[in-house]
Amino acid sequence: MRFHAYSSLKMNSFYPIRENGQKCMSIDRDIKRPYNSNHCRTIQFIFDCLVIEGGRVLKDKRLKIMEAAMHLFSSKGYFSTSVQEIAEYCGVSKGSVYTFFDSKEALLLEVFQYNHEKMMDRARSVILNQSISPEERFEKMIIVELEGLKDNKDFFNTISRSLPGNNQIRLFMKNIRRTMVNWHKHILEDIFGDEVRPNIWDVTFMFQGIMKEYTHLITQEQKPLSLSEVAHAIYESVDAIVQKRKRKEPVIPLKVMDEYEASPNPFSFDEKETVEEFIQRLKRKLHHFKMDNTEKEELMDSIQLLVEEDQREHPRMFLIKAILTHLSGYSDIKPEVENLRLMLVKETNKKGMRTHDK
Where in the chain are all domains bearing CATH 1.10.357.10?
A: 104-265
Say if residues 200 and 253 touch (Cβ distance below 8 Å): no
Q: What is the model's pLDDT at position 312?
A: 81
Question: Which residue would you say has higher pLDDT here, 104 or 232?
Answer: 232
Q: What is the model's pLDDT at position 80?
A: 87
* Mean of pLDDT over the chain: 74
pLDDT surpasses 50 at 348: yes
pLDDT in tens, 318-334: 888 888 888 877 766 76
Q: What is the model's pLDDT at position 271?
A: 52
pLDDT in tens, 107-129: 888 888 787 777 777 777 777 67
pLDDT in tens, 148-167: 888 887 777 776 666 666 67
Span between the terminal Cα atoms of the chain, in Å: 45
Residue 16 in 3-state DSSP?
Answer: strand
Q: How confident is the model at residue 335 (pLDDT cuts 50, 70, 90)?
A: low
pLDDT surpasses 60 at 195: yes
CA distances from 27 to 13, 15, 30, 37, 355 (A): 6, 6, 9, 20, 29
Distance CA 33, CA 24 (A): 18
Q: What is the model's pLDDT at position 165?
A: 65
Say if residues 3 and 43 touch (Cβ distance below 8 Å): yes
Say if residues 134 and 190 touch (Cβ distance below 8 Å): yes
Pick the CATH number of 60-101 from 2.70.150.10, 1.10.10.60, 1.10.1060.10, 3.10.20.600: 1.10.10.60
| 221, burial (CB in 10 Å: exposed 0-12, middle 13-18, buried 19+) | exposed
Over residues 43-63, the mean pLDDT reads: 50
Q: Dmax of the chain from CA atoms?
A: 77
Tell if the pTM clears 0.85, that is, is over it.
no
pLDDT in tens, 267-282: 554 455 577 777 777 7
pLDDT surpasses 80 at 210: yes
Q: What is the model's pLDDT at position 139?
A: 93
Say if residues 120 and 183 touch (Cβ distance below 8 Å): yes
Fold topology of 104-265: Tetracycline Repressor; domain 2 (1.10.357)
Distance CA 106, CA 216 (A): 28
Distance CA 44, CA 17 (A): 14
Lowest mean pLDDT among 8-12, 175-179, 182-186, 198-202: 8-12
Region at 9 (left for phi over 0; alpha for psi -120 to 50; beta for the rest): left
β pairing state of 2-5 and 14-17: antiparallel
**DSSP annotation of 8:** T
Where in the chain are all domains bearing CATH 1.10.10.60?
A: 60-101
CA distances from 139 to 6, 108, 123, 151, 225 (A): 47, 30, 11, 18, 15
Q: What is the model's pLDDT at position 351?
A: 56
Over residues 182-211, the mean pLDDT reads: 90
- How do the residues of the chain divide into helix, strand and coil, expressed in percent and rounded to 5? 70, 5, 25
Q: What is the model's pLDDT at position 349?
A: 60
Neighbours of 340 (CB within 10 A): 24
Lowest mean pLDDT among 24-33, 35-44, 123-132, 156-165: 24-33
Lowest mean pLDDT among 34-43, 190-199, 333-342: 34-43
- Rounded to 10 degrees, what is the CA torsion of 204, 219, 101, 65? -140
Lowest mean pLDDT among 41-55, 194-208, 325-339: 41-55
Name the range with the highest mean pLDDT among 90-94, 331-335, 341-345: 90-94
pLDDT surpasses 80 at 301: yes
Extended strands (E) in the chain: 2-5, 14-17, 51-53, 56-58
Distance CA 58, CA 63 (A): 10
Q: How confident is the model at residue 28 (pLDDT cuts 50, 70, 90)?
A: very low
